[in-house]
Amino acid sequence: MSFKITDSVTWVGKRDWELRTFHGEEYSTHRGSTYNSYLVRDEKVALIDTVWSPYDEEFVENLKKEIDLNQIDYIIVNHGEVDHSGALPKLMQEIPDKPIYCTKNAVNSLKGQYHKDWNFNIVKTGDKLSLGSKELIFIEARMLHWPDTMFCYLTGDNILFSNDAFGQHYATEQVYNDLVDQCELYQEAIKYYANILTPFSSFVRDKINEVLSFNLPLNMICTSHGVIWRDNPAQIIEQYLKWADNYQENQITILYDSMWNNTRKMAEAIMAGIIAQDKEVVVKLFNVSRTDKNDIITEVFKSKGILVGSSTINNGILSSIAGILEEIRGLGFRNKKAAAFGSYGWSGQSVKMISEGLKAGGFEVVNEGLKLSWTPDEEALKKCEKFGSQFVNAFK
């Protein structure tokens, strides 16, 4: 169901209430998502982005109810990923000669995915497209989060169509940022940044500063996923600048997996040692095999330090720990400290392997780690508490 955002702009996207994973199985979407597409009417008409391919027929049929497709003059593709461009082939069957405006990298992306040589028009930062009384101004946004990404800005209405930037995987009928549950919105926004945009933080910072230097008035930010920012839209820009600057809170997160609960006992004792040493620090503990990995990554993003523990198995580490270390490595966190711990029966390689994984992920590993054999007794648990206390001291 479409709805008007302004007299000129209509939302024509899709709410996906059932979506539970994204990017294959890589990203959890507990609250679903939206695929936001926008129809801009002036003397000329522009369609900005489409929706994910499973909804292509529904999208085109609903768009026909909103407008005669032949009245669409321009199609804007801000990003070629299939959750944005998936309905484009179905739409182009109806209006095959309509010009598509996108970046050079987006042409490569769209041709590579759909194998069609549509009427592509390549744009770069500063290029303008007149709609009559208003213009679309294009701004390349490379690596936010693909090389082909761009924003476009609508003069008159003062709307930034930001594609993936400033978005959330969040299905809601409330539509606008001031109407939804603010705790839910913040949680989905920081999760989105932590899991998707963290590796590109330097690009985020530079691009935001570039856009701000244009001194464009801003009434709304219309994202590709989640809410439309209409109430103080600059608030999410300010938040992104904080998140892009090696973000951390006064939090320590403990991650572990355990075969027979010995590593769990270590983790809990380490947590007790941290709390005894610093009553102000927030400490969170997660069994990685029983916790959503994207929620874990969000907590790692918020943390100034993490401790990671695993039993030793087959001269290695448990698969859940190996997996989360690989997730962490790929995101390239900075300005965070870490240490490893674990229990073993016969060989005890896990602590060394975890430490190497943490270093590969950009963490400052503050010590050689702590490993204990078999089931920790009272004396061993005191060692764990001391290990936790010493970890806190690394921040002083």
Residue 155 structural domain: 3-243
Task: Please say whether the beta carbons of 252 and 283 come within 8 A.
Answer: yes
Task: Please say whether the beta carbons of 262 and 374 come within 8 A.
Answer: yes
Query: Is 26 annotated in the active site?
Result: no
CATH number at residue 192: 3.60.15.10
362 lies in the same domain as 285: yes
Tokens of 303: 């943390």
Tokens of 125: 């930062």
Secondary structure tally for the chain: helices H, strands E: 12, 25
Tell me the backbone φ, ψ of residue 247, rounded to 5 degrees.
Answer: -60, 140
Which pLDDT does position 1 carry in this prediction? 83
Query: Is 49 annotated in the active site?
Result: no
Please count the structural domains in the chain: 2
111 lies in the same domain as 194: yes
The per-residue pLDDT string of the chain (396 residues; one tens digit each, 9 = 90 and over) reads 899 999 999 999 999 999 999 999 999 999 999 999 999 999 999 999 999 999 999 999 999 999 999 999 999 999 999 999 999 999 999 999 999 999 999 999 999 999 999 999 999 999 999 999 999 999 999 999 999 999 999 999 999 999 999 999 999 999 999 999 999 999 999 999 999 999 999 999 999 999 999 999 999 999 999 999 999 999 999 999 999 999 999 999 999 999 999 999 999 999 999 999 999 999 999 999 999 999 999 999 999 999 999 999 999 999 999 999 999 999 999 999 999 999 999 999 999 999 999 999 999 999 999 999 999 999 999 999 999 999 999 998
Task: Please say whether the beta carbons of 287 and 309 come within 8 A.
Answer: no
Query: Is 164 annotated in the active site?
Result: yes
d(CA 306, CA 286): 11
149 lies in the same domain as 68: yes
Compute CA distances 245 → 204, 207, 248, whole Å: 10, 13, 9
| Identified catalytic residue from 164, 188, 257, 268 | 164
| Identified catalytic residue from 74, 145, 170, 193 | 145
Cα 383 from chain centroid?
38
d(CA 239, CA 260): 42
Query: Is 79 annotated in the active site?
Result: yes
Where among 196, 223, 243 does a domain terminate?
243
CATH number at residue 300: 3.40.50.360
| Identified catalytic residue from 56, 81, 257, 278 | 81
Which pLDDT does position 73 carry in this prediction? 98
The type of residue at 166 is F
224 lies in the same domain as 269: no
Where among 218, 243, 268 does a domain terminate?
243
Residues 6+ apart with CB under 8 A from 286: 253, 254, 255, 256, 296, 299
58 lies in the same domain as 83: yes
316 lies in the same domain as 211: no
| Identified catalytic residue from 55, 79, 170, 188 | 79
Query: Is 18 annotated in the active site?
Result: no
Query: Is 30 annotated in the active site?
Result: no
Where among 180, 212, 243 does a domain terminate?
243
| Identified catalytic residue from 170, 192, 193, 240 | 192
Phi-psi region of 61 (alpha: psi -120 to 50; beta: other; left: phi over 0): alpha
239 lies in the same domain as 375: no
226 lies in the same domain as 265: no
237 lies in the same domain as 94: yes
221 lies in the same domain as 351: no
| Identified catalytic residue from 49, 83, 148, 299 | 83
| Identified catalytic residue from 23, 61, 238, 356 | 23
pTM assigned to the model: 0.96
105 lies in the same domain as 176: yes
3-state SS assignment for residue 189: helix
| Identified catalytic residue from 225, 256, 268, 385 | 225
223 lies in the same domain as 258: no
Query: Is 83 annotated in the active site?
Result: yes
